[in-house]
Amino acid sequence: MMYKPLTIKEISELRYENDEDLLFGQFLDDFRYEESDMYALIKDEPLNEKESELFSCILAATAHKLANDNDLPVPEWVFKRKYVYVREFYPCIDDDDDGDDIKDFRQHLKATSPYEFAQRNLFFGNNVLSRV
């Protein structure tokens, strides 16, 4: 039996039964090792439900960035307004944190986040799609 790589759409469908972080990491690995059709992994729009709005925006930013980085067509679905997060999002930072260190960290994340994420109010920094 041949392994079938995960697609962006499948991540959104499977996230209720599995850990979405693990699914996302598996998708990134699958994408990097895909040899025949990388575009097939990002072309279909994911499920976009209100309770997973942030995750849906992350998937759109990911598809957009991977397309740009790999000279692939950017799927039209990523440009829909619903994939712009309603407020700025910084991972690992509470909204009410406002100390100087936190302000500096926010500023760093904002300055280094890829365009495809920043335009959706997602500020993860320049290593957002890195796998360690």
**In the chain, what are the domain boundaries?**
8-118
Count the neighbouring beta carbons within 10 Å of the beta carbon of residue 110: 13
How far apart, in whole angstroms, are the C-alpha atoms of residue 32 and residue 66?
Answer: 10
Task: Please name the amino acid found at residue 81.
Answer: R
Q: pTM, whole model, 2 decimals?
A: 0.90
> Predicted confidence band at 80 (pLDDT cuts at 50, 70, 90)?
very high
How far apart, in whole angstroms, are the C-alpha atoms of residue 87 and residue 107?
Answer: 15
Taking only the tens place, the pLDDT of each residue in 35-71 is 889 999 999 999 877 668 999 999 999 999 999 999 9
